[in-house]
Structure 1
Amino acid sequence: MRILLIGYGKMGKTIEQMALAKGHQIAGTIDHTNAETLENYSPANTDVAIEFTHPEAAFGNISYCLKQGIPVVSGSTGWLDRYSEAVQLCEENKGAFFYASNYSVGVNLFFHFNEYIANKMKAYQEYNVSIREIHHLQKVDKPSGTGITTAEGILASYPTLQGWAADDDSDKSKLNIISEREPDVVGTHIVTYASEVDKIELGHIAHSRAGFAEGALMAAEWLKDRQGVYGMKDMLNL
């Protein structure tokens, strides 16, 4: 499989190593550190693109791929206010688009269990639910995309909560997401249900980026030759 890497930071380089080890080819790399841009890139030798960039660049990158007929797997966060536009572009161009805020198989199992627990805990209003996410200092968006996806999984079972709030536990009508940035942290997400008498927690701690890269590569392999909009639930049959 010929893979175009859009974004060649730590994640892109990890995906490259894994892809080459599995016998795939790297069709090209697009990054702010090299001269090549998507505008002068020929899609003819590309089977799929994997996109991990910044919020301000993600939608443009995804749009280009869909318009050029390149199946695209994106893991960029902080741009989802334009997600519906990406879905529309995919449908208009009969393309293939795979999006996840987190490609770790473990994290997606965490999402699955999070939704299950939230559905059970909604009956016990004495428990106050909150989310804590911790990432490395270079993480741009706050809260993380994974934190927001976790919140959405809870909010589906809590109609009394009016959305989520970032680092604000004063508004009890919203689900609070506490964001922390520390050195040498890959990614930690913890959901807490706290009452006056006890506390229940569900958490996921990533030890390296390898799980994220492996999941993104799995998604690229899975997406090839498909059409439509997909996510990890589709691939993992959750």
Structure 2
Amino acid sequence: MKIALLGYGKMGKVIERVAQERGHEIILRKKSADSFDGLENADVAIEFSVPSAAVNNINECFTKNIPVVSGTTGWLEHYDEIKKLCNANNGAFLYGSNFSLGVNIFFELNVQLAKMMSKLEQYNVSMEEIHHTQKLDAPSGTAITLAKDIIANSNYNDWTIDTPKENDIFITAKREENVPGTHTVTYDSEVDSIEIKHTAHSREGFALGAVVAAEWLTGKKGVFSMKDVLGI
């Protein structure tokens, strides 16, 4: 499979290595100022860039009829627009706030726990996410996904990183050196606490999930998520 990498930072380089180990060829390594020359020859694009570039990168893939897997976070106010563009161009698009296979299992655990806790008013939920200092957006896309899934399965109305209002989920976002990603969801009451946590040990898990998603997306049309890839 011929892969175009749109975004060639630390994550792009790990994706490159994992993809090559799985027998794929990297035909384009696009940094921010580079052109899209060669994109039309790709079987699939993997997009891990920055929020300001993501929409243009994805749209360029639709224009050239290239399936695109995107893991860039911080641009989701344009997500509905991208879905419409994908369908209008009969394209293929798969977005994930986190491509780690373990995190996607964690997402499902979070949903089930939220359903079980929704009737127990004595518990208050909060979240914490910790990432490396180079991460530009806060809270992380993973934390937002976790919060939205709780909101969809409970009486909470919104999430915030500021002073929470009633029925808001408070998210603490920390930036520390050399932390690939740690996410904790805590339900706290006067008598006890319940906590679920995912800790990434390296970028390898994110890269593997992105490449697996790209393998799965090839030949398909429509808008998908990691739930489709994993069949959950």
- Taking structure 1 as the reference length, what is the TM-score of the superposition? 0.95
2:180 corresponds in structure 1 to 186
1:67 to 63, 66, 71: 63
SS at match of 2:55: helix
| 2:166 is aligned with 1:168 | no
| 2:195 is aligned with 1:201 | yes
Unaligned runs of 5+ in 2: none
**For the Cα contact (< 8 Å) 1:99–1:231, is it kept in 2?**
yes
- Aligned pairs for 1:19-34 within 5 A: 19-32=19-32
Query: In percent, how many aligned pairs have the same letter?
Result: 51
**Aligned partners of 1:173, 1:153: CA distance in 2, in Å?**
14
- Aligned pairs for 1:41-60 within 5 A: 41-60=37-56
- Aligned-residue offset at 1:92: 0.4
Count residues in correspondence.
232
SS at match of 2:45: strand
The list of structure 1 runs, each at least 4 consecutive aligned residues, that deviate by more than 3 angstroms after superposition, is none
| 2:141 is aligned with 1:141 | no
**Aligned partners of 2:166, 2:107: CA distance in 1, in Å?**
23
- Aligned pairs for 1:114-153 within 5 A: 114-153=110-149
- Taking structure 2 as the reference length, what is the TM-score of the superposition? 0.97
**Aligned partners of 1:193, 1:44: CA distance in 2, in Å?**
48
**Aligned partners of 1:168, 1:153: CA distance in 2, in Å?**
21
**For the Cα contact (< 8 Å) 1:7–1:30, is it kept in 2?**
yes
Unaligned runs of 5+ in 1: none
- Aligned-residue offset at 1:167: 3.8
- Aligned-residue offset at 1:52: 0.3
SS at match of 1:183: coil
**Aligned partners of 2:107, 2:4: CA distance in 1, in Å?**
28
**Aligned partners of 1:189, 1:44: CA distance in 2, in Å?**
37
